[in-house]
Amino acid sequence: MILSVRDLKVSFRTDDGIVRAIDGVSFDLAEGEILGVVGESGSGKTVSLLAVMGLITDPNAVIEGSIRYKGRELVGLPASELRLLRGNEIAMIFQDPMTALTPVYTIGWQIAEQIRAHQRISKAAAMKRVEELLAEVNFPNPHEAMSRYPHQLSGGMRQRAVIAMALSCSPALLVADEPTTALDVTVQAGILDLVRKLRATHNSAVVFITHDMGVVSELADRVMVMYAGRIVERGSRQDLFADSLHPYTRALLGSIPPLTGDKPHRLPAIPGSPPSLLRLPKGCAFAPRCPVRYEPCDLGKPALGDGNHAAACFRTAQP
């Protein structure tokens, strides 16, 4: 296992009380595997991966549990040691390529900066490596692109530059936080192809955060569905799409328009909205919106079962 997260809890102290953004998340990731993490905004999918990266800088955040990278515990690791892993072994691609790059430096400079932060190589050698990287992420004219400023590139090109930057030190683990959300559909497809290709060439494990079930069905080996800071279902892609257990997963799948057959007049939507993390119900957090709830749902929180395909639901997942 390259990454092994056990019972991760992240809470934030706020004026209104403690917000538990992540409540007991556990998962494993094998080498070269693509894990899709799905959920609505506020479900904790980004926060849990920021915790893995050690990028939660809020002084009011409390992180508990265990994050092991190649057997090494990351929680409580000094910032200076964490920094050596970041960008080098664990890299991240962010959601919005428009703001993810420093506006006053060329992209070549910014990628070379990362390489030189982790490797002892000359400026010229770093620049040569940058050109190779940009070619690898399909920049039509990599040499010229190096001297471009972020504002001179389109959103798709910027995201390619960010990906090239993330790959610059051949990381063993790549975290992609909704990398296609801010891009239009054709560009999206190109970026997904790129992630697949890079997994093949670098054998990096990828955690792909998204709220788009369509993206997950194309890319992920395994999928983890999150709701209100907890994992509600996990399993292989086939398990999840063919035989989903949790009513939330089913509802998400139901809201994808079908490509064949009769189009529904209106797409089914999930009624209500996600609960506030400050006032979570005593029972299952999804219960207020759940079509199949019954009494036990309001009394206690369902646990996520063991096994490769499991769901946290009293109704559908228990034997």
Partner 1 sequence: MIYPILRRLAQMLFVMFGISVIVFLIFFATPGADPAARIAGRNASPEVLEAVRHSFGFDRPLYVQYALMMQKIFVTGDLTSFVNRGWKVVPAVLDSIPVTLSLVFGAAVLWVVFSILIGVVAAATRDSWLDKLLMALGLLGISMPVYWVGEVMNLVSQSRYHDTWLFSWVPPLGYVNFSDDPKGWFLALVIPWITLSILYIGIYGRVLRAAIIESMQEDYIRTARAKGLSETRILLRHALRTSLIAFVTLFGLDFGALVGGSALLTEVVFGLQGIGKLTYDALQSLDLPMIMATVMYASMFVVIANAVVDFVYILLDPRVKTS
Where does this chain bind partner 1 (CB under 8 A)? 53, 55, 57, 79, 83-88, 91-92, 94, 96, 99-104, 113-114, 117-118, 149, 151-152, 162, 165-166
Q: How far is the CB of 283 from partner 1 (least distance, A)?
A: 36
Q: What is the CA radius of gyration of the chain?
A: 21
Q: Kindly tell me which of 37 and 92 has the beta carbon lying closer to partner 1.
A: 92
Q: How far is the CB of 9 from partner 1 (least distance, A)?
A: 22
* Of 75, 60, 59, residue with least CA distance to 3: 75
Q: How far is the CB of 86 from partner 1 (least distance, A)?
A: 4
Q: Determine the distance from the C-alpha atom of residue 168 to the mean position of all C-alpha atoms in its chain, rounded to a whole number.
A: 19
Q: How far is the CB of 163 from partner 1 (least distance, A)?
A: 12
Give CA–CA dist 97/188, Å, rounded. 13
The alpha carbon torsion through 285, 289, 292, 293 (nearest 10 deg) reads: 50
Q: Kindly tell me which of 115 and 304 has the beta carbon lying closer to partner 1.
A: 115
Q: What is the tally of helices (H) and strands (E) in the chain?
A: 11, 11
Q: How far is the CB of 153 from partner 1 (least distance, A)?
A: 12
User: Amino acid letter at 29?
Assistant: L
The answer to whether 12 and 60 are in contact (CB under 8 A) is: yes
Q: Kindly tell me which of 182 and 213 has the beta carbon lying closer to partner 1.
A: 182
Q: How far is the CB of 83 from partner 1 (least distance, A)?
A: 5
Q: Are strands 90-93 and 173-177 parallel, antiparallel or unpaired?
A: parallel
Give CA–CA dist 33/177, Å, rounded. 16
The answer to whether 208 and 176 are in contact (CB under 8 A) is: yes
Q: Kindly tell me which of 26 and 181 has the beta carbon lying closer to partner 1.
A: 181
Q: Kindly tell me which of 178 and 239 has the beta carbon lying closer to partner 1.
A: 178
Give CA–CA dist 87/152, Å, rounded. 25
Q: Kindly tell me which of 62 and 104 has the beta carbon lying closer to partner 1.
A: 104
